[in-house]
Amino acid sequence: MIELFTAATPNGWKVAITLEELAIPYTVRALKLSSGEQKESWYTALNPNGKIPTIVDHAANDFVVFESGAIQIYLAERSGALIGTTPQQRSQVVQWLMFQMGGVGPMMGQAAVFLRYAPEKIPFAIERYQREVRRLFEVLDRRLQVAEFLAGSYSIADIANWCWTHTHAFVGVDVDGLTHLQRWMTQIADRPAVQRGKAVPESVDLSQLDEKTLAERRKLLS
């Protein structure tokens, strides 16, 4: 049994959706990020970075994995699915997973910080990160023009990138003209396992966050 420590964020969704797609039994411990539960000593003993998500694999002597992409790789390799069947296919999956972890996630995160949470609006910073997000989306669109999924077949790379890209409106970046990216986002959103995982630990629509919720999320930056 996998125990998942998580919250309703793109990185949290990455792992919940992966668990759902792989049909791995799991339990959920929802962390209250606004109250700083993720910084408490009991949790940092599991995840020294004090972030979500984290898993504990109780079937493997309580083995702990933190960092969302590392968790995805662990679960996919544990199950023998969603990560390719040859070294070359696995490499493609990992390349596009790293693209999300090193590019899409950090750039969208910074765009969100400066657009939604920063106490002072800094146009240069907002525009800089929005431009970079759009550029990364264009890279994805070009790849998806020649492949149905990022690594050829549906994989953890698609899950990881979708969990971030589908929130594009929240960071003020449109996907106009990116028809292949739009096709892929819709295709993945329609998957039942994606819909189930996206509702863990609760269903959240980032486009509908009220000021109280935004204020609570601002606390996470301090």
Contact by Cβ (8 Å): 200, 28: yes
| Pairwise CA distance, residues 75 & 61, whole Å | 15
Tokens matching residue 52: 């979500």
| Pairwise CA distance, residues 163 & 182, whole Å | 14
| Pairwise CA distance, residues 43 & 5, whole Å | 9
Q: What is the per-residue pLDDT for 214?
A: 60
Contact by Cβ (8 Å): 161, 69: no
Residue 55, beta-bridge partner list:
4, 65
For the structural domain made of 87-191, what CATH number should be given?
1.20.1050.10
Residue 6, beta-bridge partner list:
30
Q: What is the per-residue pLDDT for 204?
A: 76
pLDDT tens readout for residues 130-152: 999 999 999 999 999 999 999 99
Q: What is the per-residue pLDDT for 213?
A: 63
Query: To which CATH superfamily is domain 2-81+197-207 assigned?
Result: Glutaredoxin (3.40.30.10)
pLDDT tens readout for residues 70-105: 999 999 999 999 999 999 999 999 999 999 999 999
What's the whole-number average pLDDT of the chain? 94
pLDDT tens readout for residues 39-81: 999 999 999 999 999 999 999 999 999 999 999 999 999 999 9
Q: What is the per-residue pLDDT for 30?
A: 97
Q: What is the per-residue pLDDT for 189?
A: 98
Per-residue burial over 59-83, b = 16 or more CB atoms within 10 Å of its CB, e = otherwise: eeeeeebbbbbebbbbbbebeebbb
Tokens matching residue 202: 């609760």
| Pairwise CA distance, residues 105 & 195, whole Å | 20
Geometric angle at alpha carbon 99, from 73 and 216, rounded to 5° = 85
Domain positions in the chain: 2-81+197-207, 87-191
Q: What is the per-residue pLDDT for 205?
A: 76
- One fold for 2-81+197-207 and 87-191: no
Q: What is the per-residue pLDDT for 222?
A: 42
What residues contact 20, with CB distance under 8 A and at least 6 apart? 193, 194, 196, 197, 200
Taking alpha carbons only, the member of 130, 101, 99 closest to residue 113 is 130
pLDDT tens readout for residues 173-219: 999 999 999 999 999 999 999 999 999 998 877 766 666 666 655 55
| Pairwise CA distance, residues 12 & 7, whole Å | 6
- CA 140 vs CA 89, 148, 204, 207: distances in Å: 18, 11, 25, 22
Reported pTM: 0.94
Contact by Cβ (8 Å): 81, 23: no
